Amino acid sequence: MLGLQIRRIVRVLGLAVAVATASVSVPATAWAKSSGQSADSSKSRQVSGSRAANAPRAARPVKAGTVKVARGSEAHASKGSARNAKGGSKGAKTNMRAARVVAVPSVGQLTGLHAVDDPLELKSGVALVVDDDSRQVLFSKNPDAVLPIASITKLMTALVVVESGEPLDQLLSIGPDDVENTLKVRSRLAAGTVLSRSELLRLALMASENRAAAALARHHPGGVPAFVRAMNAKAAQLGMRDSQFVESTGLSPDNRASAIDLTRLVAASSAHEVIREYSVAKETVVPVGASDKAVQFRSTNGLIGNPEWEILLQKTGYISAAGRCLVMQASLAGRRLTMVLLDSAGKHSRLGDAERLRKWLVEHLHSPAQVAAGTVPAALPSLPSVLPAAAAAAAAGMPR
């Protein structure tokens, strides 16, 4: 019996290591194969009859009755996937359950970013805070590390959608391809759901809805390949030299960027009122599925609505390879700041890190008016900075 138990443990550990290795480095082609669609192709499927995506139609009222609440869609394992796993041998199911409790290391953890100390003892492997007007770097930790960015990707998705000029009131469908590409994550947008491009954009930014982001790319002129090309062209235009995008949701670990690049993305996104508004929305209700069932979606950012924060734009993200991620543009001490936190360890750690930074900034940061009046020093008394040379050099090249 003891020998049998040891062999089972060895099999479990071997499976866990395999899962961890696969989650850290997945090429775009492998990600696409797992979703049943190539990374550079898409099948355009139109809704027939009254569900035609381009057909003019009055806005549909939400049906009365119970409103179901949809939580955020940041790469949570779907219950359906777990149920589908039934049917294997009892031993295999036991091994799979044991393997799931093993934490999968992120890219930042594997590359030692968390071993870098910082004065605030942040749980994030990467942190960067920049004054948007002066371009002064107020805090930096591994700012030039290039990492998976998970659903932060959806900011670039939104930027491409808004700047494409396609009508935001056009009705689009959630098709089989959108469902197939997001089978392994939670989503409440059933196939057959018809919403406007504007509603899909709101869900992608506020609730991090992956099927909404997938549908936005699929309905782009030229389909998914053209959309991905537009994402990378926009990144190049913004000077995001270390960034690459292979799809629109952020589920692929091959969507990567540095914190420095993401400050540029935040700056460009904040120029559009619709992106600012939708990203900081707290909740919304939309009709879902063929029955138009009312479903409530909520923001994935727990800081939205917090009176201590004046958040102008935000986006969260999570996949195992990226850890917990957060970008925000916020007003603090009379200044507009961009905050980037990547590869944070722990479910709530990115919010905790944001709070640590906010409290430190409120204590030490002074408004330009105070500095001009000479009532406070222009320089911060004890500016914590990790790898300051890299951050300063990067900031010098940032567009104002």
Residues annotated as part of the active site: 151, 154, 208
List C-alpha distances in Å: 381 to 142, 240, 355: 22, 32, 20
Q: What DSSP element (H or E) covers 7?
A: helix 2-24
Residue 131 CA to residue 129 CA, distance in Å, equals 7
Secondary structure (DSSP) of 137-197: EEEEESTT--EE-GGGHHHHHHHHHHHHT--TT-EEE--HHHHHTTTTS-----TT-EEEH
d(CA 148, CA 159): 19
Q: Residue 206 has which token pair?
A: 């506020």
End-to-end CA distance of the chain: 68
Q: CB of 341 within 8 A of CB of 325?
A: yes
Residue 133: CB atoms within 10 A of its CB come to: 11
Nearby residues of 32 by Cβ (< 8 Å), 6 or more positions away? 38, 39, 247
Cα–Cα distance between 367 and 370 in angstroms, integer? Answer: 5
In total, the chain counts a number of residues equal to: 400
Q: Distances from the Cα of 223 to the Cαs of 46, 217, 235, 340, 391, in angstroms?
A: 12, 6, 19, 31, 37
Which of 212, 175, 180 has the alpha carbon at shortest distance from 197?
Answer: 212
